Amino acid sequence: MGLFSRRKTVFVDSDVLVIGGGMAGCGAVYESRYWGRDLKVVCVEKANIERSGAVAQGLYAINCYMGMQWDENQPEDHVRYARNDLMGLVREDLGYDIARHVDGTVHKFEEWGLPIMKDPETGRYLREGKWQIMIHGESYKPIVAEAARKAATEVYNRIMVTHLLMDKTKPNRVAGAVGFNVRTGDFYVFKAKAVIVSAGGASHIFKPRAVGEGMGRTWYAPWSSASAYALPIQVGAKMTQMENRIVLTRFKDGYGPVGAYFLHLKTYTQNAYGNEYESTWYEHTKSLVGDYVDRHPVPTCLRNHAMLEELKAGRGPIRMVTTEAFQDPHKETVGWENFLGMTIGQAVVWASQNIDPKHINPELTTSEPYVMGSHATCSGAWASGPEDYAPDDYQWGYNRMMTVDGLFGAGDTIGGTAHKFSSGSFTEGRIAGKAAVNYVADLGNEPPQVDEREYRALEKTIFQPMENYAVGRNEIVAGTVSPSYLLPIHGLQRLEKIMDEYVGGISSHYTTNTPLLDRGLELLEMLKEDMNHMGAEDLHQLQRTWELHHRVLASESVTHHTMFREETRWPGYYYRADHPKLDDDNWHCFTLSRYDRESDEWEMEKAPVYHIVD
Amino acid sequence: MPTFVYMTSCDGCGHCVDICPSDIMHIDTTYRRAYNIEPNMCWECYSCVKACPQNAIDCRGYADFAPLGHSVRALREEEKGTISWKIKFRNGSEKNFVSPIRTTDWGTIQSPADYAAPGAEEYRNQELAHEPDALNIEGGLPALAPEQLKQGVV
């Protein structure tokens, strides 16, 4: 072992193991404790749950709140909204389930101390839009983390989970997870009766618009490293809608959010010459997607599409007209606090470029693509639905259990449930938490068995990049160029370039086709081989290496799904140039994949879509 | 750089190292003070800025697109329950904002185990903790009938 002879192996037993302590993970921990009073509930997080996950920075709105107590919306309404926005394809059973519970979650947040703005006339929560309520959410995550810490038996911060462990006695049953402490380098073996994956979606799989110092200012957090997908994919869990990547229209460079601007401040967009442009692309868009263009509100991807076409026609930049609304001092304050509460980097950009939106209409842009499961998109694991109404095609066990026994998910991890956002992700964690407690109770005296040979082999794999570096570094004088190893940043930049050029990134206006995808897969295969030659100088670089492993596996999944769906379902998110139109006859379905790690093969299939019918 | 640390203010306490979601605030072994080891993986989330007891951490916008001469400063005061912001533009103009961060005292959230334990019959229904009361509606937790879900294009 040489260098690492002092490395300890730490064993942690648990009943419910929650991987990832963001919004979904905190919800899972809270609910697991409520129902599992005597259970050992363990939360493991690669950062610090006080400020981890996509809400680390704070939020200025909760985007998923029904307001059932005031009869503002009912759960069915939210399902229809998400269905329309995702061009017909969402898991309506799962979406309804989140919507019926989410108000109780938000009421708890308020009781815990989250400042929710109120309408001074009605006393109700102040609406930003039909589904959004406005908050002073700088401390949203610390407040939710406080509840999770109170609920958990143990929280392990700074442990990067790299792999799940499977039961050695029963096929297709999860038994725990392994990872390493990014401070001490100790190897961790978690044994668990039930595992809830509530890790992050994927930023940095497509090349971002800023590739220098600003590459960290992605829309989704740079620490969202696709563990939500890689962990289940590795053990053969089925995934769904991985092709359904999202592209965001945002303020340029800072990726500051536009929701409050459109909905609350009533700002609007125009092209470089001061003209409204969306309506001019109506007939063109209708020729691609048919009647979906007439849905209200207009699906997010189609609004992107109009903007992209306008830019390609040479009438950029597109600007948000803020100079009218910002004459109202209250609206000006809301506009700025919106950024300070959740995207401070946008305030930094505007301060640096002397953009005062009271006097200048700021530029908008479309982001690089992201793969995640909680915003206006729904990539993730294929999960069993609620027991009381989910159709048989969607029900094979406990609510939110994947196609692996004992493996549950929530938040970015679970596919098919768009528009859950922060409150819905916490709520889905709660749903998974209760189901996991029931699963543990039903296991009785058959606790899962981990295989020592398996976790010892994984230990060697996990720490190999440090050995590679220690050995290979002696070959060269100095610097970053070695014939023997690649650094994590090298691998990340190659991945981003492959995905950008072959799988529909910004450089091709989000366009791909079968030959491009085929070539992309060939290059991804070589990258996967090179991943055996990663070099990590220290534990931080080892974390980056494993984040990259997770991103690469998720990217492979995205590419296979994109290849399988032979239509362009979401113009504005991506285009299959060889199948440029939406095709409901053949593709009004979910795409499912299963990865077999023994054969390194991907199996694709279709699954039916069930709608709530009036 | 995005975040950077002033040499004369940092005392090496490590709060920023402990909180950074991206694991990029580390202690320099020579100077025993913190610094940003990987600026291109910084989200400018300000978690370190807010956590620094010495106000030693500041942000300089990403060099790719942010001209020099700006500053966005934050002062987060848990006892007062506020966060204060001062924005300085490159041209010297300023804006100031203050927002509440919490309406209750820190540490006062109850553990779910502090509530009465649920009855055996509640485990297999669809209600979550605190429901149906927490929903604040009449008629209990909403549900669909299985026959309301059908295949087809709508």
Cα dist from A117 to A68, A78, A177, B75, B103, whole Å: 17, 22, 41, 22, 12
Structure tokens at A102: 């989410």
| Across A30-37, average pLDDT | 98
Q: What is the pLDDT of residue B1?
A: 53
Instruction: Judge whether A611 is closer than 8 Å to chain B, CB to CB.
Output: yes
Structure tokens at A582: 């939406």
- Nearest CB among A57, A136, A430 relative to B128 is that of A430
**Mean residue pLDDT across chain B:** 97
At residue A271, the 3 state secondary structure works out as: coil
| CB pair distance less than 8 Å for B97 and A337 | yes
Read out DSSP for A23-53? HHHHHHHHHHHHH-TTS-EEEE-SS-GGG-S
B43 a catalytic residue: yes
User: pLDDT class for A539, splitting at 50, 70, 90?
Assistant: very high
Q: d(Cα A417, Cα B7) in Å, to the nearest integer?
A: 47
CB-CB neighbors (< 8 A) of A101 in chain B = 128, 131, 135, 141
| Across A529-540, average pLDDT | 98
User: pLDDT class for A444, splitting at 50, 70, 90?
Assistant: confident
Q: Are A90 and A79 in contact (CB under 8 A)?
A: yes
Instruction: Judge whether A146 is closer than 8 Å to chain B, CB to CB.
Output: yes
Asked if residue A465 has pLDDT above 90, the reply is: yes
pLDDT digits (tens, 9 = 90+) for A302-348: 999 999 999 999 999 999 999 999 999 999 999 999 999 999 999 99
| CB pair distance less than 8 Å for A138 and B101 | yes
pLDDT digits (tens, 9 = 90+) for A247-300: 999 999 999 999 889 988 999 999 999 999 999 999 999 999 999 999 999 999
In chain A, % of residues over pLDDT 70:
99
- A516 against A445, higher pLDDT: A516
Q: d(Cα B60, Cα B63) in Å, to the nearest integer?
A: 8
Instruction: Judge whether A35 is closer than 8 Å to chain B, CB to CB.
Output: yes
Structure tokens at B110: 């109850």
Asked if residue A1 has pLDDT above 50, the reply is: no
Helix (H) or strand (E) holding A490: helix A488-502
Q: What is the pLDDT of residue A609?
A: 98
Q: Are A153 and A190 in contact (CB under 8 A)?
A: no
Q: Are A534 and A491 in contact (CB under 8 A)?
A: yes
Identity (one letter) of the amino acid at A368?
A: E
Q: Are A224 and A203 in contact (CB under 8 A)?
A: yes
Query: Which chain B residue is nearest to residue A394, measuring alpha carbons?
Result: B149
Q: Are A589 and A236 in contact (CB under 8 A)?
A: no
- On the 0-12 / 13-18 / 19+ scale of CB atoms within 10 A, A37 is exposed
Q: What is the pLDDT of residue A69?
A: 98
User: pLDDT class for A431, splitting at 50, 70, 90?
Assistant: very high
Sequence spans of domains, chain A:
249-366, 452-606
| CB pair distance less than 8 Å for A354 and B90 | yes
Q: d(Cα A46, Cα A312) in Å, to the nearest integer?
A: 41
Asked if residue A550 has pLDDT above 70, the reply is: yes
Nearest-Cα distance to chain A for B8, in Å, is 24
Hey, what CATH class is A249-366 in? alpha beta
pTM above 0.80, yes or no: yes
| Across A168-177, average pLDDT | 96
Q: Are A305 and A318 in contact (CB under 8 A)?
A: no
- On the 0-12 / 13-18 / 19+ scale of CB atoms within 10 A, A359 is exposed
CB-CB neighbors (< 8 A) of A56 in chain B = 21, 43, 45, 47
Q: What is the pLDDT of residue A94?
A: 98
Q: What is the pLDDT of residue A3?
A: 53
pLDDT digits (tens, 9 = 90+) for A106-158: 999 999 999 999 999 999 999 999 999 999 999 999 999 999 999 999 999 99
- Nearest CB among A340, A353, A584 relative to B67 is that of A353
Domain B3-100 matching CATH 1.10.357.10: the answer reads no
The phi, psi pair for A83, rounded to 5°, reads -60, -50
Candidate list B6, B31, B43, B89, residue with the active-site label: B43
Q: What is the CA radius of gyration of chain A?
A: 23
List the one residue out of B70, B25, B79, B28 whose CA is nearest residue B52. B25
User: pLDDT class for A419, splitting at 50, 70, 90?
Assistant: very high
- Nearest CB among B19, B129, B154 relative to A50 is that of B19
Helix (H) or strand (E) holding A19: strand A9-19
Q: d(Cα B22, Cα A158) in Å, to the nearest integer?
A: 10
**Mean residue pLDDT across chain A:** 97
Instruction: Judge whether B96 is closer than 8 Å to chain A, CB to CB.
Output: no
CB-CB neighbors (< 8 A) of A344 in chain B = 44-46, 59, 72, 74
| CB pair distance less than 8 Å for A68 and B20 | no
Q: What is the pLDDT of residue A6?
A: 79
At residue A292, the 3 state secondary structure works out as: helix
Could you report the predicted ipTM of this complex, rounded to two decimals? 0.98
Instruction: Judge whether B116 is closer than 8 Å to chain A, CB to CB.
Output: no
Asked if residue B154 has pLDDT above 90, the reply is: no
Peptide bond preceding A571 in cis form (omega within 30 of 0): no
Q: Are A495 and A552 in contact (CB under 8 A)?
A: yes
- Nearest CB among A354, A387, A391 relative to B149 is that of A391
* Sequence-ordered list of residues with C-beta below 8 angstroms from that of A391, at least 6 positions apart, any chain: A93, A385, A610, B146, B149
* Sequence-ordered list of residues with C-beta below 8 angstroms from that of A329, at least 6 positions apart, any chain: none
CB-CB neighbors (< 8 A) of A182 in chain B = 23
Query: Which chain B residue is nearest to residue A292, measuring alpha carbons?
Result: B154
- On the 0-12 / 13-18 / 19+ scale of CB atoms within 10 A, A400 is buried
At residue B30, the 3 state secondary structure works out as: coil
Q: What is the pLDDT of residue A77?
A: 97
Residue B138 φ/ψ region, left for φ over 0, alpha for ψ in the -120 to 50 degree band, beta for the rest: beta
Hey, what CATH class is A452-606 in? mainly alpha
- On the 0-12 / 13-18 / 19+ scale of CB atoms within 10 A, A451 is middle
pLDDT digits (tens, 9 = 90+) for A202-228: 999 999 999 999 999 999 999 999 999
Strands (E), A85-186: 133-137, 154-156, 159-166, 174-181
| Across B60-82, average pLDDT | 97
Q: What is the pLDDT of residue A236?
A: 98
Q: What is the pLDDT of residue A4?
A: 52
